[in-house]
Structure 1
Amino acid sequence: MKIRPGRVWARLLKRRLPTSLWGRALLIIVLPVAVMQMAVTWAFFEAHWETVTARLSEGLAGDVAWAVESYLDEPTPENLAVIADRAERSMQLSIALRPGASLPTRRRPAFFAALDRSMERALDARLDQPFWFDTTRYPAYVDIQVQAPGGVLRIIAPRDRAFATRGHIFVLWLGGATLLLTTVAILFIRNQVRAIERLSEAAEAFGKGEEGAPFKPYGAREVRAAAHAFIDMRERIQRQIEQRTALLASVSHDLRTPLTRLKLELAMMDGAETAAMRADLDEMEHTIDEYLAFARGEAGEPSEALAVRPLLEGLAEAVQRRGRELQIEVPETLEITARPNALRRALNNLIDNALAHAQTVRLSAQRLRTGEVELAVDDDGPGIAPEAYEDAFKPFARLDPARNQNLKGVGLGLAIARDVARGHGGEVILDRSELGGLRAAVRLPA
């Protein structure tokens, strides 16, 4: 497939353009102003300044030609004195003869090449004799030398007689206006972008379950409308969460009361058949706990700074009390900001899932190059096929072909872990473990 050059340039340009709203808005305003100022400057120098400079250079060249021709008509010291006096009084020219001298062979170019070009064209059109000039030696004067009999006529003329010397003032005014407009644009755009950034921060904090500081809409009308819409949406979601929490509390109470009565009745009964019934009740209670935990979440819990090592050591001790071993690899000083109970529940689910299907389980923590903190659970079990990774996160999913069925589970462990991780602004990543089984990694922002 042949790629068109236009598309290549478009891609390169797209990569170079700012990606933030702040940068793009500034580019939209500042770039046209800069282009307009450059166009005005070019038009000024091209259509006005060079024209005025050419006229002045032609006038000075005419005066120089008059002085040279008057001297050549009578090349005597007396005539030169008369010509110099008239030129000084009427034309502001200083004329002197350098006997036996010759024209210089080198000339320093002016910063603006147009000055030299204009002066050279004017002198060349008016003088038949060889000449030389310098516009850089004296800041306020132009040095013109013409070959004459017996030496060189040196003519010193004021600079403003040859060039329009006020062009820099126009450039300074133009540059000052550009700077002022750019400053106003930066302040205005920054204020508008800041309103959008605050809205984004409030939305991100709400998505992580954090209360944060009160958010007050401000900025442009459209931004304030979006902020009010966000506040209304947040209030509706919070009402729904409160209603769901109250409903789940009632359901939990209503279900646990008969379960407790059944357990008491079975405890007073003897017989082998009651063991199976107690096992069924335990499974029912565990299933109810899983359902409620998945539906309730940990949204109301505040975030706090956590030392990772004590957190993982506490999980390992809990596993050890159950008669299993959990390997730990974690740095001493690693810290994160998270909701403790929610994160502990997510890791417990991943650990329980690994213990149910493997003999060796390892819990590790590290800081990635991206700045994220990764809490990983590795096992040596049968693992999950890569194409089934996403299906494993679906609620109530049971991947029996890939892993031995856990009769106690209901398929909510990974779903709860992902929900907790995303509630912290992170994610749960499944991969092949170095131990040969599954690697479930919780990645959280630092």
Structure 2
Amino acid sequence: MRWRVSTRVLGRWLKRQMPKTLFGRSLLIIVLPVAIMQIAVTYVFFDAHWQTVTSRLSDGLAGDVAWAVESYRDDPTPAAFAKLSSRAEDSMGLSIALQPGRKLPATRRDPPVLFGPFFAPIDRSMQRALNDRLDDPFWFDTTRYPAYVDIRVAVPGGVMRVLAPRDRAFATNGHIFVLWMTVATVLLTTIALLFIRNQVRAIERLANAAEAFGRGVDVPAFKPHGAKEVRRAATAFLDMRSRIQRHIDQRTTLLASVSHDLRTPLTRLKLALALGEPSKRNQAMKRDLAEMEHMIDEYLAFARGEGGEAVETVHLRELVDEVSEGALRAGAQLRVAVDPALIVAVRPNALKRALSNLVMNAAVHGEHVEIAARVRAMGGVEILIDDDGPGIPADRYEEAFKAFGRLDEARNQNTKGVGLGLAIARDVARGHGGDITLDRSPLGGLRAVVRLPG
């Protein structure tokens, strides 16, 4: 049971450490196996080849040293030693010197910390070879001289010192192999980076085009690019965008015709009432016609949206000031806290309509209304609209955004409304790539939070 828990914890930790982007994950998929292969090959090379060669070289050097010691023991005269030293120098590349009256060093010089793991196998191989070949006490050092190995053997009357070329003791081309493996890894990683980046860039362009289209921004320069599958997805996106745009254009044309057809009889009725005799019945009919006209405007605005409007860079404070005029005329006490220098890229008329719906809703249901704006830490802007009205229960916030929804028991709805104000406002915010949420206001009523992307 404990093993299963530990496995789940490790799995969650690994999942958190995994790259979140497609570029990072693709790079990991390609580079990680290459790195593991290179490490495995390097390990096998050192374990199976380099150490084997080093062991054989160490055995050969130890045999030559043992021969020199035995030869000296057989004839320890100076003439014989000189002949022995000359033969070892010419045939074996060994420099042999006799140090009368000397003793073996008591300690061995430690290698540098950085190169310790590299010299450890060499020392073990040399130690084993000399132990097998020599019966006399010995001492050696593989780190003091860059090009030589220092070997000393206790002989009668002193110490025999042997300086052997380093390549006689171990294979010296191991670092070249590691260097080539490192260069190959870097080269393969660079090639993988270039190819992966090229493919991911095509996917990023497709994602950016889809996101821009969702905000109502046209990207005319976008063309299918990248791998075959990515080009297929981009072509499908372009076809979908064309179909949606045709649908929007057809709907806009139809709604314009409907609007004209409905307003013509309404205008005739309004004219007939205007020419009629003033009476209570006449006034009631005028109010009914005004309400019908308002309802038609609401329905058409909800169905039409503001998709055809271009995105512009505007000062948010100027837009809020225009929206605030309606709330002031409605008798609300309004306070605006928006930085005049704050600039946003939006569809002005669409955002103005959304903010107007929210501000007028706050003005109708409360006496005090506050409008503020702040820049979000993660990017984008938040517009806060607070009122001191009766508010809405927290469990009915989402219900308030439903089209044609009414929350009569929670907030006394405006009798002229048709339940589309919040729905239109959220549709506009989401059309910009943001959203609208509701919360409890510090003033005691409702807070509407409009989030717009950066």
- 2:108, 2:140 within 8 Å by CA — same for their partners in 1? no
Match of 1:350 in 2: 358
- 1:316, 1:325 within 8 Å by CA — same for their partners in 2? no
In 1, distance between residues paired with 2:392 and 2:156? 105
Give yes or no for the alignment of 1:106 onto 2:113. Answer: no
- 1:143, 1:154 within 8 Å by CA — same for their partners in 2? yes
Residue 4 of structure 1 aligns to a residue whose secondary structure is helix
1:323, CA displacement in angstroms?
3.8
1:321, CA displacement in angstroms?
3.7
- Using the TM superposition, name which of 307-316 and 163-172 deviates more: 307-316
- 1:102, 1:147 within 8 Å by CA — same for their partners in 2? yes
- 2:429, 2:452 within 8 Å by CA — same for their partners in 1? yes
Q: CA-atom RMSD, angstroms?
A: 1.4
1:288 to 296, 302, 311: 296
Give yes or no for the alignment of 1:369 onto 2:377. Answer: yes
Alpha-carbon displacement from aligned partner over 1:406-446 (angstroms, at most 9, x marks no partner)? 10111011111111111111010100000001101100112
| Mapping of residues 236-385 of structure 1, within 5 Å | 236-269=243-276, 270-385=278-393
Give yes or no for the alignment of 1:138 onto 2:145. Answer: yes
Match of 2:203 in 1: 196
1:391 to 386, 395, 399: 399
In 2, distance between residues paired with 1:74 and 1:243? 114
Match of 1:167 in 2: 174
Question: Given residue 39 of structure 1, which amino acid in structure 2 is its aligned partner?
Answer: A
- 1:107, 1:133 within 8 Å by CA — same for their partners in 2? no
Percent identity reads: 66
In 2, distance between residues paired with 1:202 and 1:260? 44
1:127, CA displacement in angstroms?
1.0
In 1, distance between residues paired with 2:353 and 2:158? 103
1:314, CA displacement in angstroms?
2.2
Alpha-carbon displacement from aligned partner over 1:122-154 (angstroms, at most 9, x marks no partner)? 111111111111111221111111122222211
Give yes or no for the alignment of 1:230 onto 2:232. Answer: no
1:322, CA displacement in angstroms?
4.2
Question: Given residue 167 of structure 2, which amino acid in structure 1 is its aligned partner?
Answer: D
In 1, distance between residues paired with 2:323 and 2:414? 21
Give yes or no for the alignment of 1:186 onto 2:193. Answer: yes
Alpha-carbon displacement from aligned partner over 1:3-62 (angstroms, at most 9, x marks no partner)? 722111111110111111111111111111111111111111111110011000000000
Question: Given residue 363 of structure 2, which amino acid in structure 1 is its aligned partner?
Answer: L
Q: Which TM-score applies when normalising by structure 1? A: 0.97
Give yes or no for the alignment of 1:85 onto 2:86. Answer: yes
Residue 405 of structure 1 aligns to a residue whose secondary structure is coil
1:339, CA displacement in angstroms?
0.9
In 2, distance between residues paired with 1:197 and 1:81? 79
- Using the TM superposition, name which of 2-11 and 230-239 deviates more: 2-11
- Using the TM superposition, name which of 137-146 and 413-422 deviates more: 137-146
Match of 1:38 in 2: 39
In 2, distance between residues paired with 1:306 and 1:332? 11
The alignment of Structure 1 onto Structure 2 pairs a total of residues equal to 446
Match of 1:422 in 2: 430
In 1, distance between residues paired with 2:220 and 2:145? 66
Match of 1:5 in 2: 6
Residue 384 of structure 1 aligns to a residue whose secondary structure is coil
- Using the TM superposition, name which of 141-150 and 401-410 deviates more: 141-150
In 2, distance between residues paired with 1:166 and 1:302? 68
Question: Given residue 133 of structure 1, which amino acid in structure 2 is its aligned partner?
Answer: F
Match of 2:28 in 1: 27
1:352, CA displacement in angstroms?
1.2
Alpha-carbon displacement from aligned partner over 1:297-324 (angstroms, at most 9, x marks no partner)? 1111111222222222222234324443
Match of 2:162 in 1: 155
Question: Given residue 200 of structure 1, which amino acid in structure 2 is its aligned partner?
Answer: A
Residue 398 of structure 2 aligns to a residue whose secondary structure is helix
Residue 356 of structure 1 aligns to a residue whose secondary structure is helix
Gaps of 5+ in 2: none
In 2, distance between residues paired with 1:385 and 1:140? 85
